[in-house]
Chain A
Amino acid sequence: MNPPLTARNVSMVPCHRCHLISQIPSDGKLSGMACPRCGAALHQRKPDSLNRTWALVIAAIVFYIPAMVLPISVTTTFAGAQSDTIMSGVIYFIHSGSWHIALVIFVASVLVPILKILILIFLLISVQVKSKWRPLDSTRLYRIIELIGKWSMVDIYVITLMAALIKLGGLASFDAGPAALYFGTMVVFTMFAAMSFDPRLIWDCMEENHDSG
């Protein structure tokens, strides 16, 4: 079986910025080469993809914990102050009958970050053990996390608008809690993690051991 006709297998490299294909010089050295059309540095694969993605995934896990445990918002009324975590907010909205709000917040703030982190760990491990398991499905999983990642940010926007409008009302005050900062940073980390993962590594695994096997 012949190896698939990829750019790498025929000593070519596509520019990550403008997609122009360049020929790699015969000595095979790519370092310092720039795309002749747009001037971007040329890399066969995203540089240091696995290490960077692992580091960002671990950072995201570390930030996910305080984001869930600490209060995300503090409401102060004449009756006193009340702190809410993301989950206590979700539970409150289930009990008060706004199950659609509860669903949006639960999916965007709790489920999507966990899914992103789990899928990235799965992809990282399957690349590292050179898994040949369903590369097409793995690529699809990667596309899903690229697509859904930013929707986790919805709670941050809700807090911003609630803080502004409740303050305008003047009867109560609504402040972002310490979890908001951890949460926002965690979402940013997961987005950077998805960007630094190179899906072509999934397909590279399929070609390993072609000569020996």
Chain B
Amino acid sequence: MQSNSLMACHDCDLLHRIDGHPEGGTSICSRCGAVLLSHKRNSLDRSLALTITGLILFVMANAYPLLAIKSGSLYRAATLMGSVEVLYAAGMWQIGLLVFLTAILFPLLDLLCRLYILIPLKMNRKPWKLSFIMSLNQTLNPWGMMDVFMLGILVSVVKLVKMMKVIPGVSLFAFMMLILVLAAIAAFFDPHLAWEKGEG
């Protein structure tokens, strides 16, 4: 167990001895200031609740129209997936794929990976293939860009209101909530807890 209390800083390699796990405490590298560990109170319960909320919001954000336009008697609504399809149909499938991966698939997989890890941990079991799923989650994490997409929505709306009447859809509100929930998950999910509990 002695090596478990030792930690090397991921940014500067300095060794640190972590004595105990103060709940709600954050350990910071004494040389470069990197965050080594951040133990949150009830990390497991909170991140599980947030992940389930996140998945529900994700379904809503994708099932309902994002934005609708109105000009005269014409009313039409576009979903996120529908927007990707427009690019695909216009022959820009590479851009469509980039948007599909970063704004739809990777954020979804990220949430599913976390759910897959958290449910067995909650029941005090070791998640099957924990190492593979954790690694998948870590690899995909930087490529999920829902927050950037949200900024993209705002910019597009401001651009479009000059040309037509733009009506925000149900999905837009689900999106805004989802950005907050994803940020909270990032804060509460503790990978060290998963590794330690999933070990035995």
Residues of A within 8 A of B (CB): 4-8, 10, 12, 14, 16-23, 37-40, 96, 98, 100-101, 104-105, 108, 135-136, 139, 142-143, 150-151, 153-172, 175-176, 180-181, 184, 188, 191, 195, 199-200, 202-204
Contact = CB atoms under 8 A, between A and B. Distances in A.
A8 B74 CA distance: 67
25 contacts: A6-B8, A14-B7, A14-B10, A18-B131, A19-B8, A19-B10, A38-B130, A38-B134, A98-B159, A139-B32, A142-B11, A151-B151, A155-B152, A156-B99, A158-B156, A160-B152, A161-B66, A164-B82, A165-B164, A168-B69, A168-B76, A168-B78, A181-B95, A191-B142, A203-B12
B13 interface: yes
A157 B31 contact: no
Contacts of B135: 17, 38, 40
A198 to B, nearest CB: 9
Nearest to A159: B95
Contact of B32 (A39, A160, A167, A203): A203
Given A165-B166, A181-B94, A199-B12, A19 B134 contact: no
Contact of B102 (A38, A153, A159): A153
A8 B160 CA distance: 55
Contacts of A188: 98
Contacts of B44: none
A6 B145 contact: no
B30 to A, nearest CB: 10
Interface string B144-177: 0100110111011011101110100000000000
Contacts of B148: 150-151, 153-154, 157
B127 to A, nearest CB: 12
Interface in B111-163: 130-131, 134-135, 138, 142-143, 145, 148-149, 151-153, 155-156, 158-160, 162-163
